[in-house]
């Protein structure tokens, strides 16, 4: 799950900050330091669903702003997927919405 969480954060930050004329954002970039696999790993081991949702939510808000907010077609879908992720109450319930978010963010890159 840690890799999946890190990937969703990475794709979100790419949408928010990466431009065509700049070098790509990578997993080892400084801006990813709060969203590294190890950081998520600690939260997963603790079973801290709320902290995981908060961290991923920070990234998703940046991505949502980058694609024009909830008033756009892409934004409405991202908002819906983010709401599904936020509605999870257990670690097991995070899986399906997280996979959907990863796929969607990858597709709209």
pLDDT by residue (tens digit) across 21-71?
A: 888 888 888 889 999 999 999 999 999 999 999 999 999 999 999 999 999
**Domain that residue 103 falls in:** 2-107
The angle at the Cα of 109, spanning 13 to 101, to the nearest 5 degrees, equals: 70
State the chain's mean pLDDT as an integer: 96
pLDDT on residue 20: 85
Of the chain, the percentage scoring pLDDT greater than 70 comes to 100
- Structurally, the chain folds into a number of domains equal to 1
Stretch 66-86: mean pLDDT, rounded?
97
Closest CA to 53 of 88, 19, 28: 88
Stretch 72-97: mean pLDDT, rounded?
98
């Amino acid at each position: 799950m840690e890799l999946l969480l890190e990937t969703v954060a990475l794709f979100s930050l790419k949408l928010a900050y990466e431009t065509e004329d700049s070098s790509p954002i990578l997993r080892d970039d400084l801006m990813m330091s709060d969203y590294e696999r190890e950081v998520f790993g600690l939260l997963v081991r603790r079973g801290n669903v709320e902290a995981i949702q908060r961290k991923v939510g920070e990234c998703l808000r940046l991505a949502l702003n980058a694609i024009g907010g909830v008033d756009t077609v892409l934004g409405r879908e991202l908002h819906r997927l983010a709401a599904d992720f936020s509605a999870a109450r257990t670690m097991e319930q995070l899986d399906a919405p997280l996979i959907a978010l990863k796929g969607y963010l990858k597709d709209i890159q």
